[in-house]
Chains A and B, each alone.
Chain A
Amino acid sequence: MNKEDLIEFEEECCHETDVTKLLAEKSAWVRKETLRIHKTCREIRIASCLSDIEIFTVLYYGKILNIRPNDPLWGGRDRFIVSKAHGAVSLYPVLADFGFFDRRELERVCMENSIFGSIPDCRIPGFETINGSLGHGLGVACGIALALKRSGKNANILVLMGDGELNEGSVWEAIMFAAHHRLDNLLLIIDKNEKSMLDYCKNAIDLEPLDEKFKAFNWKTEIVDGHNVRELYYTLKKLKEDRDGQPKVLIANTVKGKGVPRLEADPLCHIKSLEPHEIDEIIGGLDNGCRS
């Protein structure tokens, strides 16, 4: 976003309905941009990238994250780790829009000499770590949270994980660690799209009751509709400000492949790609939806 947009945005944010409207509009735009990237880069996990879009837009356009796009490694920034990195391509348009890098990079994802792959790494401004292998993000975040506390920094560390990722044992080592060390500057968001690669999560390893599990591990727990920007916005805002000795988790109920009916209905959508002509049709449909 350029400076004028930012001022405009701040004015808009004065009114609750305007915030919601802006976040919904941005989400629709990011969804289209992500599909456009998929048109040139077939390798991205498109269904995973579609379930976390509202989470990204609320974090950035909703100013939940305290960041400086012109100084990505500013010491006081809120850190954000996308542990489900295969679903992070939909963050590229957001970061480009905020000026972390040139917008033209979006046209070169997965191409030779581009640093933008189907899974991002910390060469890209705005990304803190290298993920891709699941189950690492939360433990690294615990170390960052501890460091921030010890060095007296007021910043937060946020992590986005998928629900399938909770199968990894290392995640539970980190969940226990965070609660024991009262890391209340740590906020975990679970993109609970209910599918891993092979099937619905409940058919592989049933995670329910997930909120009760976190509560039992002494985490502050909230559940929202992960595509409802209003709910996301207010709950994330509240959780981020909560500092009462508990790590915090937001379980965002989402739909894998959101916006593309063929993917939404397919238990194997994780590995499915869309044909270019299909993408054009979907983008056209989204445009019509925006106008109505």
Chain B
Amino acid sequence: MAAEVKTMRDAMINKICQEMQKRENIFFLSADMGAPTLDEIRTKFKDRFVSVGIAEQNLINVSTGLALEGYIVYSYAIAPFLTMRAYEQIKNNVALMAQIKRDMNINLLGVGVGLSYDMSGPSHHAIEDMSIMRALPNLIIFSPSDWVLAEKFVDYSIKIKRPKYARLDGKPVPRIYDGGQKIDFQKGFCELVAGEKVCLVATGVMTQRALEVAGDCLKNGMKVGVLDIFLLKPLNYDSMYEALKKYECVITMEEGFINKGGVDGLVSDLLNTKQLDVKLINLGLKDRYVFEMGNRNYLHKLNYLDKESVIKVVKEVWR
């Protein structure tokens, strides 16, 4: 079945545009970052679309001011610049302030996480964002694996009046959620494939890879589970424990640094907190930047995140 392919940002921005039509209390701010679907917002809502220029720090600060006055704000920029150029603005004016001001609705939309900007090199890669954003209290972290989730986020973002960071992939992705699965923001994850013995726990675009791996493994008689974490924070530990306890081995997959508090750290803490005796293997990027040129699949191959490399790891633990 050919799945419909779209970018997460286009799906999300389309839905935001519909909401802006219905509601007067939404602002959309961009740090000189566009999208095909953004043009509609730019032309239709001239007084509520603001281009702050190439100025991520001011993007966060202006968004804060608008949110303090009760507006729902979407703050849109390239992920590495949004999270790292403006990190202290996010700490002080978003995370810190939200502990006192309980209804600040700022939604940071970071586009191009992980190695999305494969050809642009390491300045444009965002492989630290999960680790550093997880460090901030009072911040919800959304990490969708397909455009359906990205679209669903918009309702959630309006309903939950708290700061959020949505980490969006830059490339078009096929849909994973076709209506057959329950998208539960209370849980924060979805067990896409129920398996035996081994479970792949992934987030973002790596969930797409995990599904490919599980598909191939099944052909070889290995029924591998796939669990997609789309809300890195808050995550329901109890439900996740229930989902993982039937497995003997958990393999985490992320397009980010490992051993620095990303998905690997999250799952490790869960297993530790719940005293779950499961073998844990962490796949991701080692402690070095990726200068190598080539498309994303090539970069995955170099870093053992391609389908074949992951299948090899599964085969080793399956025995």
Q: Which of B53, B65, B89, B93 contacts A142 (CB 8 A)?
A: B65
A292 within 8 A of B: no
Supply 27 A–B pairs (Cβ within 8 Å), ascending by A: A128-B68, A129-B97, A130-B100, A131-B92, A133-B92, A136-B89, A139-B57, A139-B62, A139-B89, A140-B64, A140-B68, A142-B61, A143-B69, A144-B65, A145-B65, A147-B65, A147-B69, A147-B71, A151-B69, A169-B57, A170-B57, A173-B52, A173-B58, A174-B62, A176-B55, A177-B62, A181-B50
Q: Which of B50, B52, B61 contacts A140 (CB 8 A)?
A: B61
A174 touches B58 (CB 8 A): yes
Q: Which of B59-86 contact A (CB under 8 A)?
A: 60-71
Across-interface contacts of A143 in B (CB, < 8 A): 61-69
A216 to B: closest C-beta gap in Å: 17
Give Cα distance in the complex from A129 to B61, angstroms: 11
Q: Which of B57, B65, B97 contacts A173 (CB 8 A)?
A: B57
Q: Kindly report which residue of chain A lies nearest to residue B63, judged by CB atoms.
A: A143
Give Cα distance in the complex from A241 to B52, angstroms: 27
A144 touches B89 (CB 8 A): no
B65 touches A170 (CB 8 A): no
Given contacts A140-B65, A143-B69, 16 further A-B contacts (CB under 8 A): A122-B97, A128-B68, A129-B68, A139-B62, A139-B64, A139-B89, A140-B61, A142-B58, A142-B62, A144-B69, A146-B62, A170-B58, A170-B89, A173-B53, A173-B58, A174-B62
B41 to A: closest C-beta gap in Å: 15
Across-interface contacts of B66 in A (CB, < 8 A): 143-144, 146-147
What is the size category of the interface that chain B forms with chain A? 20 to 34
B53 touches A177 (CB 8 A): yes
A139 touches B58 (CB 8 A): yes
A78 within 8 A of B: no
Across-interface contacts of B62 in A (CB, < 8 A): 139-140, 142-143, 146, 174, 177
B72 to A: closest C-beta gap in Å: 12
Nearest 9 A-B pairs (CB), nearest first?
A143-B65, A139-B61, A147-B69, A173-B58, A144-B65, A143-B62, A170-B57, A173-B55, A143-B66
Q: Which of B50, B70, B71, B92 contacts A130 (CB 8 A)?
A: B92
A121 touches B69 (CB 8 A): no
A-B residue pair count with CB separations less than 8 angstroms: 92
Across-interface contacts of A133 in B (CB, < 8 A): 88, 92
A residues at B contact (CB < 8 Å): 121-123, 128-133, 136, 138-148, 150-151, 169-170, 173-174, 176-177, 181
B89 to A: closest C-beta gap in Å: 6
For the residues of A in contact with B, the DSSP-based class is helix
B136 to A: closest C-beta gap in Å: 14
Q: Kindly report which residue of chain A lies nearest to residue B89, judged by CB atoms.
A: A136
Give Cα distance in the complex from A129 to B55, angstroms: 21
Give Cα distance in the complex from A133 to B87, angstroms: 13
Across-interface contacts of B64 in A (CB, < 8 A): 129, 139-140, 143
B74 to A: closest C-beta gap in Å: 13
Across-interface contacts of A174 in B (CB, < 8 A): 58, 61-62
B97 touches A177 (CB 8 A): no
Q: Which of B221-268 contact A (CB under 8 A)?
A: none
Q: Kindly report which residue of chain B lies nearest to residue A123, judged by CB atoms.
A: B100
Q: Kindly report which residue of chain A lies nearest to residue B65, judged by CB atoms.
A: A143
B81 to A: closest C-beta gap in Å: 13
B286 within 8 A of A: no
Give Cα distance in the complex from A146 to B58, angstroms: 13
B61 touches A170 (CB 8 A): yes
A159 to B: closest C-beta gap in Å: 11
Give Cα distance in the complex from A170 to B50, angstroms: 17
Across-interface contacts of B61 in A (CB, < 8 A): 136, 138-140, 142-143, 170, 174
Q: Kindly report which residue of chain A lies nearest to residue B62, judged by CB atoms.
A: A143
Q: Which of A121, A144, A170, A181 contacts B100 (CB 8 A)?
A: A121
Across-interface contacts of A131 in B (CB, < 8 A): 92
A111 to B: closest C-beta gap in Å: 20
Give Cα distance in the complex from A150 to B89, angstroms: 24
A177 touches B58 (CB 8 A): yes
A150 touches B57 (CB 8 A): no
Q: Which of B111-142 contact A (CB under 8 A)?
A: none
B307 within 8 A of A: no
Which of B48, B52, B67, B88 has the most C-beta atoms of chain A within 10 angstroms of its own C-beta? Answer: B52
Across-interface contacts of A122 in B (CB, < 8 A): 97, 100-101
